[in-house]
Chains A and B, each alone.
Chain A
Amino acid sequence: MDRSFLSDQRVVAASRNFVCIRLATYEDQQEAEFMSRVFTPRSGVLENTTFGILAPDGKRNLVTPGRGPMHAFRDATDMANKMRVIALQHPGAMQSAWADQRLPVMNSVDVALNVAACDNLPLLVTFAENEQRLAEINNALLKTAWSESLAGQFVYGSTSNKQELKPILGVKGNSAKLAEGILVVEPGPYGLSGKILCELPGTPISDQTAVELSKALASFSRRPPEYASHIQLGIQLGIDWESAIPETDQQSIRAKERARGTR
């Protein structure tokens, strides 16, 4: 059985009528509390994964929540069909695809870089010297970011604090002199660093911006890591991701202790 619910093209097509939110589980306390309200597992504490489909107010579950879509749907076909039915029950869903008014940035550049590595996607970072200017750049980028050809093709970060760009190799060069701009970054193997594939001005955002982003996307050649060897080498290298809030998934904590020989 194909368990790739979220990459199934029928599910992807159905997702266009939804607001899709994917959170990094232990990187924000308020988000963790929200996820715990959506689905409380038998353990009573937030576990590593959560899945749900909610009403637009974010308060009502529309399907059985769980740790993954397999809790709610037989398979990807079932998921896509039920998503289409849910969309038909929400008039807003059928009218507003591709008209988003927010850039889908993550909470911080370092988490975005890690998530880009996890997804094997390029990271797009907008930066400026102050929040007002950053908001102007992000707003100018909306139409491009939510275009049919580019939506979902980047992980987004955004910052007015240049210190956040430190993990990105090459920022010491041209980008360090720039007050603002857009960087397309290829994440390193562990998402702790990245190299610049493309630098673009923050404004004006034009059709040429979309062309340049498409070129950067085409030049992205990173291969996804082999799972077991990635973990093994990461442990050998002493890499240990410190999440913003403590992990509470006891099964995962025990597995980590076993893998690292600390138990």
Chain B
Amino acid sequence: MFYRYSLTIALLGIASLATAAEPTARIAWYGQLAVGLAEAQRTGRPILLVSGAPQCHGVPGVW
């Protein structure tokens, strides 16, 4: 449970930044594994991988 909440807090931190007047720099995420892996292999860049369920208690719209 701790880990879920910790990652949730991190993801909510990202969400709350969206209201700033100037866009805050964010991680640019690939949302498809195959596409991201192909790009990593093409460029030789290492991979930062995260997964999260876009629902809590079955309610969507929150990590």
* Chain A residues at the B interface, C-beta cutoff of 8 Å: 3-7, 9, 11-13, 15, 17-26, 28, 30-31, 34-35, 38, 47-58, 62, 66-71, 83, 86-87, 90-93, 95-96, 99-102, 104-107, 111-112, 114-115, 117-121, 146, 149, 151-153, 155-156, 187-192, 217, 220-225, 227, 230-231, 234-235, 239-241, 243, 247, 249, 251-252, 255-256, 259-260
| Bound CA–CA A13/B15 (angstroms) | 18
Known contacts A13-B25, A22-B52, A104-B31; A55/B9 CB under 8 A:
no
A152:B29 contact, CB within 8 angstroms = yes
Enumerate chain B residues within 8 angstroms of A105, measured Cβ to Cβ: 31-32, 35
Interface string of B1-24 (1 = CB under 8 A from A): 101101111111111111100011
Known contacts A21-B49, A25-B53, A93-B44; A7/B14 CB under 8 A:
yes
Interface string of B42-55 (1 = CB under 8 A from A): 11111111111111
Tell me the minimal C-beta distance from A153 to chain B in angstroms.
5
CB nearest neighbor in B for A257: B57
| Bound CA–CA A115/B16 (angstroms) | 14
Q: Which of B10, B15, B28, B53 contacts A3 (CB 8 A)?
A: B10
Known contacts A49-B4, A105-B32; A25/B52 CB under 8 A:
yes
A149:B23 contact, CB within 8 angstroms = yes
A-B residue pairs, 9 tightest by C-beta: A92-B44, A4-B13, A234-B59, A152-B26, A106-B31, A21-B36, A67-B3, A152-B28, A22-B29
Enumerate chain B residues within 8 angstroms of A23, measured Cβ to Cβ: 31-33, 49-51
* Chain B residues at the A interface, C-beta cutoff of 8 Å: 1, 3-4, 6-19, 23-33, 35-63
Enumerate chain B residues within 8 angstroms of A83, measured Cβ to Cβ: 48
6 pairs, CB–CB < 8 Å, chain A vs chain B: A24-B52, A52-B49, A102-B39, A121-B15, A234-B57, A255-B57
Q: Secondary structure at chain B's binding surface: helix, strand, loop or mixed?
A: mixed
B61:A118 contact, CB within 8 angstroms = yes
A68:B6 contact, CB within 8 angstroms = yes
B10:A191 contact, CB within 8 angstroms = no
| Bound CA–CA A19/B1 (angstroms) | 28
| Bound CA–CA A227/B15 (angstroms) | 11
Q: Which of B8, B29, B59 contacts A21 (CB 8 A)?
A: B29
Besides A49-B50, A49-B53, A260-B58, 4 other CB < 8 A contacts?
Answer: A3-B13, A9-B25, A24-B53, A48-B4
| Bound CA–CA A30/B42 (angstroms) | 21
Tell me the minimal C-beta distance from B3 to chain A in angstroms.
4
Enumerate chain B residues within 8 angstroms of A223, measured Cβ to Cβ: 19
Q: Which of A92, A107, A146, A222 contacts B31 (CB 8 A)?
A: A107
